[in-house]
Amino acid sequence: MTRRAVRLTATLLILAGLAACSGTGRQGQSQTAQPQQRESTIWDVFSNRRDPNDTVAVNRYLWNASLEVLDFLPIQSVDPFTGVIVTGYGTPPGGGRAYRATIKVSDPSLDARALKVSLQGSGGAAVAPDTVRAVEDAILTRARQLRLQDRNL
């Protein structure tokens, strides 16, 4: 009796597997006529299928303006995928104090909230907030100018 039940169960599983592989169920239509598309499921919300190396999530105008405005500082590291520019110490033209900057462009929009500038004086000394704000304003102004130049092309 058990042998018979095992054979019956095995036969049903094989038939179910074959039925599942039978295709879309449409008679007379070629499956190669339409490209197969994967249906999305609820689990797609939780998966990260984006390749982080194919898109840059920073604003190009803010990025280029940051490099232009702070061109007197030597660049130590640049990562356009995370939006971080780290510079070494340098003295601005007409200034007597050396500064170091870290710039983070965190958003693809041309917005003041997308730009974060951090300045350090020589030896790690704090920099006045007005100076940091002036550098941010200069970068934002240059970014707007670059955007207007692109529109005129």
Per-residue pLDDT of 108-122, as tens digits, reads 888 889 999 999 998
Q: What is the pLDDT of residue 71?
A: 93
Nearest to 99 by CA among 76, 70, 78: 70
Q: Which long-range contacts (CB under 8 A, 24 or more apart) does 13-22 make?
A: none
Nearest to 118 by CA among 74, 79, 70, 50: 70
At residue 76 the predicted structure's pLDDT band, cuts being 50, 70 and 90, is: very high
- Please, what is the average pLDDT of the chain? 81
Percent of the chain residues past pLDDT 70, beyond the cut:
71
Q: What is the pLDDT of residue 29?
A: 53
Q: What is the pLDDT of residue 121?
A: 92
Per-residue pLDDT of 29-74, as tens digits, reads 555 556 667 676 766 666 666 655 556 678 899 999 999 999 999 9
> What pTM does this model have?
0.63
Cα 69 from Cα 85, distance rounded (Å): 13
